[in-house]
Each structure stands twice: as structure tokens, then as C-alpha cells.
Amino acid sequence: MNTKSKALVDQLSEILQKNKDAEKGYAKAAENAKSLGLKNYFKRKSDERSDFNNQLKSAIAANFNEVDDSGSFTGSMHRTWMDIKTFFSGNEDEAMMEEAIRGEKAAVEEYKEVLEDQVLPLPIEVLIREQKLRIEKDLSTIKSLEDLE
């Protein structure tokens, strides 16, 4: 694999890892949420990130025969921080929504970087753009949920 392809696979693997972290974080938030609506929202987001990873793993494997989706240390730290913040927060649901918003904004930036920094194979570019748009749409949704609380 040439250096350019390796850099792209590394960036895509990072997105995989962060999506895996988000999947676990949303699952944890669904367990801890008090509001049934928020519980369902977080569960749906966890399932969505699992789907994102399955799609992206398939696309990477088809184009590069290499995938690393083990999850990141920073993601583990973020989930731990969410747990601590939830434990000490007077309004756990609000704290989890704030963390979800922060995580979604970071995800959008990661997707933008890949789209700006790399020349992507068309199927991967289409997939990355679709996933980024879904995250942006859900970022608006969670912001509106936060306003309702």
C-alpha cells in the first residue's frame, strides 16, 4: 500500500474508531437516561453508529483490504467522563445531551477533514458524505431536544 493510501486508511480507521466509541457512548447514555424519549433517541443513535461502521468497514475492505475498528483511548475516556459528569450532575439527561452535542460536532469535523484532506474512492466519498449529513441532521435534532428539556 502506498503512503497516500495508508494515510487515507488511517483517517478512515480513525472515523471507524470514533464511531465505535460513539456507539458505545450512546448505548451507555441510553442506559442512564431518565426520559423515555431520550433513552430511545440514544438507543437509535447507538444503532445508527453501528450501521455506519458496518458500511464503512465494508467499503474500506473492498477498496483497501485493511480495517482497524478497535475503538480509541480518547473515546473510552469520553465515556468515563460522561459517567462522572452524569453522576455529579443535577440533571443527568441534560448533561448527556450536552456531551452528545459536543461529540456530534467533533464527528462532523472529522468527516469534513477526510473529505477535504483526501482524494477518496467514489463509493467511500459518497458514504462519508451521507454519514456526515445524517450526523449534521441529528445534531439539529438533539439541539432541539435540549431546548425542550
What's the confidence (pLDDT) of residue 70?
A: 52
Averaged pLDDT, 13-17: 88
Residue 67's pLDDT band, with cuts at 50, 70 and 90, is low
Averaged pLDDT, 56-82: 64
Instruction: List, in sequence order, the alpha helices (H) in 33-72.
Output: 36-64
**Per-residue pLDDT tens digits for 123-148:** 999 999 999 999 999 888 776 765 55
Residues 3-63+71-148, CATH architecture: Up-down Bundle (1.20)
Percentage of the residues of the chain whose pLDDT score is greater than 90: 33
Residue 92's pLDDT band, with cuts at 50, 70 and 90, is confident
Please choose, from the candidates 105, 88, 106, 86, the residue with its C-alpha nearest in 3D space to the C-alpha of residue 96: 86
What's the confidence (pLDDT) of residue 72?
A: 46
pTM value surpassing 0.85: no
Cβ–Cβ under 8 Å, residues 92 and 34 = yes
* Whole-number Å distance between alpha carbons of 45 and 47: 5
